[in-house]
Amino acid sequence: MAVEPLSQKDIEDRLRELPGWSLAEDRLERSYRLGSHFAATAMVVHIAQVQEELDHHSDLTLGYNTVGLSVQTHSAGGTVTEKDFELAERVEALAAGHGAS
């Protein structure tokens, strides 16, 4: 099943529902600050679990107490699709549970 890229307007509309997320070139990006390195590492593990469930893998970065994501759909030519927003929404729920800001 082919995944279609979203239009610029659709992306902008959806981003209004996801504070902290932004569009950078053809990908969604967000970073989170957590209370400790251990908390950031735990969040990365939980994000990886969600990525496996969705079969949709983003680039993750781990700093001392920060986690960064860069999300795009490679199978759609490296553009933003509904799959990216589904992952972003799931990560937002995780972040809230981890006390991330």
Could you tell me where the DSSP H helices lie in 1-101?
8-15, 37-54, 82-98
Q: What is the domain-level CATH number for residue 64?
A: 3.30.1360.20
22 inside domain = no
89 inside domain = yes
Residue-wise pLDDT for 32-90, tens only, equals: 999 999 999 999 999 999 999 999 999 999 999 999 999 999 989 999 999 999 999 99
Q: What's the pLDDT score for residue 2?
A: 67
69 inside domain = yes
Residue 6 has pLDDT above 60, yes or no: yes
21 inside domain = no
19 inside domain = no
Residue 1 has pLDDT above 80, yes or no: no
Size of the chain in residues: 101
Contact yes or no for 78/72 (Cβ under 8 A): yes
Number of domains in the chain: 1
